[in-house]
Amino acid sequence: MNAADIAIEICIASAEEALRFSGFVRDFLARNGLPFVMIHNDPALNGERRKVVFEDALVSRKFAREWRMDCSAA
């Protein structure tokens, strides 16, 4: 599987959004029975970007879809 299939890049716009993102990740893991996720704060990514990496591409896509919906609702 290609690493691009399992990594989602998220841009954090503010301290408030960073706090919301942290809660979203915690709740997503709990809802889906997942023990952990890798989140990279990669200097190669511009700005306040995080790379979220799950071991399964389906879970990554689900996470990205739910994060986008959460952002739209905020």
Question: pLDDT by residue (tens digit) across 29-38?
Answer: 999 998 878 7
DSSP code of 14? Answer: S
Alpha-carbon distance 58 to 5, whole Å?
Answer: 9
What tens digit of pLDDT does each residue of 10-44 get? Answer: 888 888 888 898 899 999 999 999 887 878 776 66
Domains of the chain, residue spans = 6-73
**Bridge partner residues of 11 (DSSP):** 49
The pLDDT score that the predictor gives to residue 31 is 93
User: 6-73, which class in CATH?
Assistant: alpha beta
